[in-house]
Amino acid sequence: MLHVLFCGVVVFPGLFVVFRKVLPSIFKQWTDADVVLVSERLVSSIHAIMATTAGFIVVSSCNDVIMDRHWLATYFVVWFGVPYMTYDIFAMYLSHYYRFRVKGHEEYKEHSFRTFTSFVRREFLLVFHHIALLTILLPITLFYRNDRGDYFIGCLFLTELSTPFVSLGKILIQLGLQDCWLHKANGVMVLLSFFSCRIALFPYMYWAYGRRYGIPLPSVPFHLSLACNLGNLCILAPQVYWFVLLCRKGYRLYQRQGKAQNSPAVTDSTKAD
């Protein structure tokens, strides 16, 4: 048990360090900010693939959404979930720090309490999301479930399905490939996977619970504890906000590409005149 937990504590920082060492030798023109950003995204994708795989295993193994058990539902959170969320707060801070350091901000010449508080202010929602998972998902998983609901823990693992697509989009932009077909196709996958696994998944879980007990979907929240509903809301609310931002970003990108395609035609017609 302890050696597996130790593996989870070191694996993500270890991968992050490896990527930070390897990437500059491949992309020599990248700044420290570029390297840290891509390293963070690669590690996030690895964790997301692990979490999604664990989620599929747990969900497919549970016929009864309340009573069926699978050991991964508990141990993945302890071995990899908590270590990753803790590591990722630090990795996001480093990405923030080097981004502003490269831009020449005087206060970012070295790490300080001021640079960390600036990070928390700018990335408050992301930090809150990570802390909420550490303070809500972990206690529920370990202490308050009474060994029930492994199916729903597996469903929560599946929320990570969209992360590799989000990370790939940022990496493609970093490589200057934001106009290629792969980036466009990946953008569609970001929206589909994000909506399906981070938003629609929550009504589905309420529906699955209601079907288990013969309760209509609108009545399910009234049969659950206030703490359960608030916990789901704390996880769901940032997802809705981020999805709206993704839709806006996709719409702006679509508009820019439309203008870029129309501008050559305008130029040609002007020359013809």
Give residue 146's pLDDT: 81
195 vs 255 pLDDT, higher one: 195
Q: What are the Cα distances from residue 248, in Å, to 35, 101, 178?
A: 27, 28, 16
Q: How confident is the prediction for the chain on average, in pLDDT?
A: 87
What is the C-alpha separation between 108 and 105, in angstroms, rounded?
Answer: 6
Examine the pLDDT at 187 and tell me if it is beyond 50. Answer: yes
Torsion of CA 168, 238, 92, 113, to 10 degrees: 160
Q: Residue 156 in 3-state DSSP?
A: helix
DSSP alpha helices (H): ranges in the chain?
2-26, 32-61, 71-76, 82-102, 113-122, 124-132, 138-139, 150-157, 163-174, 181-198, 201-213, 220-223, 226-272
Q: What is the token pair recorded at 111?
A: 């790490």
Q: What are the Cα distances from residue 204, in Å, to 77, 156, 196, 198, 207?
A: 22, 11, 10, 11, 5
Give residue 247's pLDDT: 92
Q: What is the mean pLDDT of residues 129-141?
A: 80
Examine the pLDDT at 83 and tell me if it is beyond 60. Answer: yes
What is the C-alpha separation between 194 and 170, in angstroms, rounded?
Answer: 15
What residue type is 40 in one-letter code? E
Task: Evaluate whether 236 touches 137 at the Cβ level (below 8 Å).
Answer: no
Examine the pLDDT at 190 and tell me if it is beyond 50. Answer: yes
Give residue 109's pLDDT: 87
Tens digit of each residue's pLDDT (9 = 90 or more) over 215-235: 999 999 999 988 889 888 888
In degrees and rounded to multiples of 5, residue 92 shows phi and psi of -65, -40
Q: pLDDT band for 262, please (50, 70, 90 cuts).
A: low
Give residue 265's pLDDT: 47
Q: What is the mean pLDDT of residues 33-60?
A: 95
Closest CA to 162 of 130, 137, 187: 187
Tens digit of each residue's pLDDT (9 = 90 or more) over 17-26: 999 999 999 9
Q: What is the mean pLDDT of residues 172-181?
A: 87
Q: pLDDT band for 273, please (50, 70, 90 cuts).
A: very low
Q: pLDDT band for 53, please (50, 70, 90 cuts).
A: very high
Q: What is the token pair recorded at 99?
A: 């981004």
Task: Evaluate whether 84 touches 160 at the Cβ level (below 8 Å).
Answer: no
Query: For the chain, how many residues are written?
Result: 273
Q: What is the mean pLDDT of residues 43-54?
A: 96
Examine the pLDDT at 4 and tell me if it is beyond 60. Answer: no
What is the C-alpha separation between 228 and 94, in angstroms, rounded?
Answer: 33
Q: pLDDT band for 251, please (50, 70, 90 cuts).
A: confident
Examine the pLDDT at 151 and tell me if it is beyond 90. Answer: yes
Closest CA to 211 of 50, 23, 60, 63: 63
What is the C-alpha separation between 248 and 263, in angstroms, rounded?
Answer: 23
Examine the pLDDT at 260 and tell me if it is beyond 80. Answer: no
What is the C-alpha separation between 256 and 89, in angstroms, rounded?
Answer: 33
The residues, ordered by sequence, that sit 6+ positions from 146 with a Cβ below 8 Å of its Cβ are none
Q: pLDDT band for 7, please (50, 70, 90 cuts).
A: low
